[in-house]
Amino acid sequence: MRIWAVSTAMFLGLAGVAQAGPLNFKQVAADAKWVVHLDVDEMHENIVAQRLYESSTQKFQNAEQHLDRLGSGLAMDPRKDLHEITVYSKQIGQHQGVVLVNADVNREMLLEKAKKAPGHQSVSYGPYEIHSWTFAPGKKAEQGITMKIRVGAKLHAFHEHHAAGAFFKPNILVFAETVEDVKGALDVLDGKATSLYGRKSPLTEAIPAGTTILARAVDLSSADCDSALLKQSDTINIVMGEDQGRSFLDAALLTKSAQAADQIKQIVDGARALAQLQHGGDAQIGKLLGQIQGQESGTMVSVALRAPAEDVATVLEKVESELAKHFHKFAPPEAKPGPGK
């Protein structure tokens, strides 16, 4: 299972609550290395999110029909039934973790789909029934469906991997790669295993009001990968959202040395300068870029943005339109949509 694919395909939420809210640390295992939280209910009140949704559905006339079909496949309507998603893992750089989804799903329909999945098995765990199945059985990564992009690279979308899931509550689902991981997550939700609640950690820092997306990680240098950036990093904290009509973004990276922090700060400054050079002719985009503040203090690098939500929405709509034109220009002729498609 690729945890991000599962998080967008099926949904699990927070224990004991039917309504979404800020990340509940009681739901995350104490030994988690990273956590990502998406507050979908908060996004319904978010000016930027709503403006982008409206502009996208206007540009793509069949968008609502596609969402209808997606909802049928997921046994819920993500536009109104999905409340929040929490993803966490005990490892850095591995395709392993737990997805918690809070959603008003059609339980019977979802269970029926799971039972018809290839390799389906089920096992009882206390009061819970854990289901497991196989995606794309027999397909190797190089045989999977691919998506070609301009430079000719390929993104492998489907190949054989496994997943397991269970209902913790009628509106709360738990997904992981293995049955054992689902059991561990259920123990945390039940309070039988220790959680992050009450622990002092970069993962449990205060969450600003209006946060829609949160991403935090610790022990980044322990990642099982060849990334030089991760090897020089310790913790990262990203929160973004909207409060009282103003959008905010706060990102902070704690590195292993002041030298690494200085190099990353230079990269951030260079990226902003490049964006200003490319979009400097647009007063609104230039103004927003000028409001991005980058700081370096010892081994810490931070980036912050505070701006009226309406201004941010307008700029993102412009960027979205430019990107759409760019990719449409280089799309193969047969892939270019006709009128109304």
Calculate the alpha carbon distances from 127 to 35, 174, 230 in Å. Answer: 27, 14, 41
In sequence order, the 6+-apart residues with CB closer than 8 A to the CB of 301 are 252, 253, 255, 261, 264, 265, 268, 294, 295
Q: Do 171 and 258 fall within a single domain? A: no
Residue 335 included in any domain: no
* Within a domain: 287: yes
**167 and 277 assigned to the same domain:** no
Q: Could you give the number of structural domains in the chain?
A: 2
Q: Which residues of the chain fall short of a pLDDT of 50?
A: 1-20, 143-157, 335, 338-341
Determine the structural domain holding residue 313 and report its residue range: 244-330
183 and 91 share a domain?
yes
Q: Which helix (H) or strand (E) holds 172?
A: strand 172-176
- Are 26 and 116 found together in one domain? yes
340, part of any domain: no
| Final residue of a structural domain among 190, 223, 255 | 190
Q: Is 235 inside any structural domain?
A: no
According to the model, what pLDDT value does residue 157 have? 45
Q: What are phi and psi of 159, to 5 degrees?
A: -155, 170
Same domain, 184 and 294: no
- Residue at which a domain ends, from 164, 190, 216: 190
Q: Quickly list H helices, the chain.
A: 3-9, 40-43, 47-59, 63-74, 107-116, 179-190, 228-231, 258-279, 283-290, 309-330
Looking at the domain assignment, is residue 254 inside a domain?
A: yes
Half-sphere exposure of 32 (CA within 13 A, CB side): 34
130 and 269, same structural domain? no
Ramachandran assignment for 209, one of left (phi > 0), alpha (psi -120 to 50 degrees), beta (any other) = beta
Indicate whether 293 belongs to any domain: yes
Same domain, 22 and 159: yes
From 155, 190, 225, the end of a domain falls on: 190
What pLDDT was estimated at residue 331?
Answer: 54
pLDDT at 55: 81
Residues 177 and 301 in one domain: no
Query: Distance (Å, rounded) from C-alpha 149 to C-alpha 221?
Result: 31
pLDDT (tens digit per residue) in 264-280: 999 888 988 888 887 76
Are 23 and 219 contacting, i.e. CB atoms less than 8 angstroms apart?
no
Q: Is there a domain that residue 83 lies in? A: yes
142/261 same-domain check: no
Query: Would residue 339 count as lying in a domain?
Result: no
Q: What pLDDT is recorded for position 327?
A: 59
Locate 177 and state its tokens: 């790669």
* Same domain membership, residue 169 and residue 254: no
Kindly write down the DSSP assignment for every residue of 240-259, as one continuous string.
EEEETTEEEEEEEEEESSHH
Which tokens sit at 307?
Answer: 């701006």
Q: Cβ(174)–Cβ(186) under 8 Å? A: yes
On whether both 57 and 183 belong to a single domain, the answer is yes
Same domain (yes/no): 185, 283: no
In this structure, the dihedral spanned by the alpha carbons of residues 94, 100, 104 and 108, taken in order and rounded to 10 degrees, is 70
